[in-house]
């Protein structure tokens, strides 16, 4: 796993850390280029990090294996760097995107100090289940994608996550009052991501949605029974993009509606699965809370 600092380089500037946990197939360096802006360098912005490239320690020799990682592989995620960074901060805010929603939950399992310091958590276009016929990507879509995974399949996946023109960006149902010209680097993003090693990407694809989680009410299929243990990360808000072609919005809605009894707020925006403007808008505020999200996200 790679951990990249997006702003205030080589120093701990704030007591608050904001952690963007990216989804499948992302490149840390390219996301750093796409998601950073002058606003992230303002003194009011907390120290912002992102995680990506989760399959570094997973074997690439997986041709004979199925679409689910083994129990052994589930414990191979290296969180040592994250543990060291988290120790420098008093509070941590989480933004989990796509499969990163489940990954953030797994990181909270593996890094106790992270769990203890989380002050606010946002799920963006994903669920804890990741692959599920009712609450994530359906197995009908995921399993063939895994079996046929190749450069063309990956290119098609990236194409489906992206919007490519400024006009489409402006259509997102989000309160972006500032200049949007810095968020049009999608050709660079697509090219760079397509250059990643296909075997490592395939390994990541079978790893992320099945990484082990501790048993709690958010990770059971039995109507999210609240009598179960409290998870180490409890999401405060879920953002669902109505144009999401990767994880069906209705499946996201079904999951978070059950979760909502915990006090979760659900927001809907007209945007695709990947929207750099929306991601950047979530990274910039001095803090994240319900009031700030309502200011960023316009009502449906």
CATH topology of domain 2-296: Rossmann fold (3.40.50)
Return phi, psi of residue 131, to 5°. -110, 110
SS3 content of the chain, % helix, strand, coil (to 5): 40, 15, 45
Ordered per-residue pLDDT tens for the chain, 300 residues = 999 999 998 788 889 999 999 999 988 887 887 787 888 999 999 999 999 999 877 666 655 566 677 666 667 788 999 999 999 999 999 999 999 999 999 999 999 899 999 999 999 999 999 999 999 999 998 999 999 999 899 988 888 887 533 334 333 444 443 333 333 445 655 665 656 788 889 889 988 998 888 889 898 765 566 667 889 999 999 999 988 989 999 999 999 998 887 789 999 988 889 888 889 899 999 999 999 999 888 644
Q: Alpha helices, DSSP H only, in the chain?
A: 28-35, 71-74, 80-86, 100-110, 112-117, 139-147, 151-161, 166-171, 186-194, 198-207, 249-259, 276-283, 290-296
Nearest-Å Rg of the Cα atoms of the chain is: 18
Question: Which pLDDT value is given to residue 32?
Answer: 84
Q: What is the rounded distance in angstroms from the CA atom of residue 36 to the CA atom of residue 196? A: 21
Q: What is the rounded distance in angstroms from the CA atom of residue 158 to the CA atom of residue 22? A: 14
Q: Give the Cβ contact number of residue 61 at 10 Å.
A: 9
| 27, 197 Cβ separation under 8 angstroms | no
| 186, 199 Cβ separation under 8 angstroms | no
Q: What is the rounded distance in angstroms from the CA atom of residue 84 to the CA atom of residue 23? A: 22
pTM for the predicted model, two decimal places: 0.89
């Amino acid at each position: 796993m790679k951990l990249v600092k997006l702003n205030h380089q080589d120093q701990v500037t704030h007591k608050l850390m904001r952690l963007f946990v990216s989804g499948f197939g992302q490149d840390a360096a390219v996301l750093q280029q796409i998601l950073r802006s002058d606003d992230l360098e303002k003194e009011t912005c907390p120290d912002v990090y992102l995680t990506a490239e989760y399959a570094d320690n997973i074997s690439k020799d997986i041709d004979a294996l199925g679409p689910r990682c083994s129990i052994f592989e589930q414990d191979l995620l290296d969180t040592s760097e994250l543990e060291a960074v988290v120790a420098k901060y008093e509070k941590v805010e989480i933004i989990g995107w796509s499969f990163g929603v489940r990954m953030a939950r797994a990181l909270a399992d593996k890094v106790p100090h992270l769990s203890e310091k989380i002050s606010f958590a946002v799920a963006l276009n994903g669920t804890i289940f990741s692959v599920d016929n009712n609450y994530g990507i359906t197995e009908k879509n995921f399993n063939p994608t895994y079996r046929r995974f190749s450069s063309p399949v990956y290119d098609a996946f990236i194409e489906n996550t992206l919007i490519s023109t400024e006009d489409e960006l402006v259509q997102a149902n989000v309160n972006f009052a500032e200049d949007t010209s810095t968020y049009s680097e999608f050709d660079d993003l697509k090219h760079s991501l397509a250059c990643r090693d296909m075997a490592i990407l395939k390994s990541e694809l079978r790893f992320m949605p099945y990484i082990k989680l501790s048993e709690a009410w958010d990770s059971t299929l039995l109507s999210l029974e609240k009598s179960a243990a409290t998870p180490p990360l409890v999401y405060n808000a879920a953002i669902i993009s109505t144009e999401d072609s990767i994880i069906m919005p209705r499946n996201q809605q079904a999951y978070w509606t059950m979760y909502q009894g915990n006090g979760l707020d659900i927001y809907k925006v007209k945007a695709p699965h990947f929207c750099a403007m929306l991601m950047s808008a979530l990274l910039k505020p001095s803090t994240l809370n319900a009031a700030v999200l309502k200011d960023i996200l316009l009502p449906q």
